[in-house]
Chain A
Amino acid sequence: MRDFDFLKPATLAEAIAMRSSLGEEACLFAGGTALLLGMRQRLVNPKTVIALGGLADLRAIAFDSQHGLRVGALARHTDLARSPELRTHTPMLAHMAARMANPQVRNQGTLGGNLCYADPATDPPTALMALRASVVLAGPDGERTLAIEDFLVDYYATALGASEILKEIRVPPPAPGSRGIYVRHLRTAAEHRPVANLALVVERKGAVCTRARLVVGAATAVPCIAAKAGEYLTGKTVTLEVAAEAGRRLAQEITPISDLRGDGAFRRAIVGVIAKRAVAEAFGLDWKGAQA
């Protein structure tokens, strides 16, 4: 690792001021689990590190029925997993956080750090996008709010401005009766990063799907909303065959990535399967009985 200056602002305003004055030379540092890996391999060589660990305000998790969920950017994955607010109002998110990566990383990594690092092989962005989350970015000129799909730009790239800091993640209150399912697909049981993942939020009347939002991640450079699959499901009485068709449509509408952990065709096949299963599960259908 190369030498760097280490700054530890006490307030958000101070952190923004540091970032504004230092510009590109400085790196924001939340939990550090991802950034330190890059720095140790000399892939990332910041002159200055602005460590946000002292900003206790940014750790809070709160819910109210009007605004929904507000998660401070520095809330750790562990905090999310154990949060009574999440477990009650967005259990999908709590469940996602409870199993991501491994216990040590969950105890240290933060939701904000995860989003800003924008590694595709991770879980939170997919789940958040399905929940229509937005992010609050604080800069010298005030705050702005972006939908998460506008925040995540590409592999390791976000819309975070050079002098901004991700302050909070907001999730609107869930629609009454809606249900979320998050599927993390590990290529093998020994891999702890998803090769593909899928988040689904559905609203239903009996067996009829009235609204569906499907988001695919890890298989794509940034999570993407599978709008066609969602449209297809809307208004349908969901059967196993409908779920399978939704999976097929979803698999066709994404642009999968290829890397050492799986080529595009494999990832496409997998997202189709996990989408089918998620839809089936959301409607209480048993997908295990019959082969596709």
Chain B
Amino acid sequence: MSKHVINVTVNGEAHAVEVPAKRLLADFLRDDLLLTGTKRGCETGTCGACSVLIDGEVVKSCLNLAVQADGRSVTTVEGLGQGTNLHPLQTSFMEQGGLQCGYCTPGFLMAAHDLLSRNPSPSEEEIREGLSGNLCRCTGYQGIVDSVKNAAEKMHGR
């Protein structure tokens, strides 16, 4: 079994950690760094609950090995905003019915973050496409789409 020391920045904090080669990034975040906001919902890379940002782009952390994150910067939901310093997406998800059970929420927030970073005022269709790599079983997506739209408006200062 090979082990590797990786240098990875997670939510702005630098870590030099030894991990086995087979450690998934999702497990590294959850089990080694105790950042359990990133969820696991499937084995097929389908549900998107484990979505995180690597160097600002959204990926599924269950489809990444921790060693692949060596030298890179990872942002999880915990790094999006905490306490009184919440990201507009987070407040919009609360206010617009963007969540129910909450299990898919971290993944949706990260996917939405990626979307808005590329496309600051997406149409409803673009939002739906941008979130097509994430599953939600509670909301029927309408509240989530509304939340992203709302956040985009807030971020434009409207």
A–B interface present (Cβ within 8 A) = yes
Q: Which residues of A contact B (CB under 8 A)?
A: 1-6, 8, 32-33, 36-37, 39-41, 49, 51, 53, 78, 99, 101-105, 107-108, 192
* A51 surroundings in chain B (CB, below 8 A): 65, 67-68
Known: A49-B21, A51-B67, A51-B68. A104 touches B2 (CB 8 A): no
Measured CB to CB, the closest approach of chain B to A111, in angstroms, equals 16
B141 to chain A, nearest CB (A): 12
Interchain CB contact under 8 A, A6 and B67: yes
Q: A37-B45, A40-B43, A103-B133 are in contact. Are A108 and B64 (CB under 8 A)?
A: yes
The docked-state distance in angstroms from the alpha carbon of A107 to that of B4 is 24
In the complex formed, the residue of B with least CB distance to A33 is B63
Is B58 at the interface (CB under 8 A from chain A)? yes
B14-52, CB under 8 A of A: which get 1 and which 0? 000000111010000000000000000001110010010
Given A6-B4, A102-B133, A36–B21 Cβ distance below 8 Å?
A: no
* Contact, CB under 8 Å: B63 / A105: yes
Q: Specify which chain A residues have a CB less than 8 angstroms from the CB of B59 in the assembled complex.
A: 104, 107-108
- For A98, the closest partner residue in chain B by CB is B129
Size class of the contact patch on chain B = 20 to 34
CB distance from A82 to the nearest CB of B (A): 9
List residues of chain B with CB within 8 A of the CB of A5: 1-2, 21
Contact indicator B21/A103 (Cβ below 8 Å): no
Which residues of the other chain, B, contact A105 by a CB distance below 8 angstroms? Answer: 45, 60, 63, 133
B139 within 8 Å of A by Cβ?
no
Contact for B57 among A40, A102, A107, CB less than 8 A: A107
Is B130 an interface position by the 8 A CB rule? yes
CB distance A3 to B21 under 8 Å?
Answer: yes
CB < 8 Å: which of B4, B64, B132, B133 contacts A32? Answer: B64
Residues of B within 8 A of A103 (CB): 58, 111, 114-115, 129-130, 132-133
List the 4 closest A-B pairs by CB distance, nearest first. Answer: A102-B133, A6-B21, A3-B1, A5-B2
B63: chain A residues at CB < 8 Å are 32-33, 36-37, 104-105, 108
Chain B residue, CB-CB nearest to A101: B133
Point out the residues of chain B lying under 8 angstroms from A40, CB to CB.
Answer: 24, 43, 62
- Chain B residues, Cβ within 8 Å of A108: 59-60, 63-64
Q: How far is the CB of A49 from chain B (nearest CB, A)?
A: 7
Set of chain A residues within 8 Å of B48, measured between Cβ atoms = 102, 104
Residues on the B chain within 8 Å of A104, using CB: 45, 48, 51, 58-60, 63, 111, 133
- Bound-complex Cα distance A105 to B21 (A): 21
Taking the closest CB of chain A, its distance from the CB of B82, in whole angstroms, is 24
Name 19 interchain pairs, CB-CB below 8 A, sorted by A: A2-B22, A4-B2, A4-B22, A6-B21, A6-B65, A36-B62, A37-B63, A40-B62, A51-B65, A102-B132, A102-B133, A103-B130, A104-B58, A104-B111, A105-B60, A107-B59, A108-B59, A108-B64, A192-B132
Closest CB in chain B relative to A140 CB, distance in Å: 24
Chain B positions within 8 Å of A37 at CB level: 43-45, 63
Instruction: Give complex CA distance A103, B22 in Å.
Output: 24
Residues of A within 8 A of B111 (CB): 103-104
- Contact assessment for B2 and A6 in the assembled complex, using a CB-CB cutoff below 8 Å: yes
Question: CA A103 – CA B108 in complex, angstroms?
Answer: 12
A33 interface neighbour in B1, B21, B45, Cβ under 8 Å: B45
Alpha-carbon distance A108/B55, docked complex (angstroms): 12
Residues of A with C-beta under 8 A to B22: 1-4, 39
Report the bound CA distance from A4 to B67 in whole Å: 12
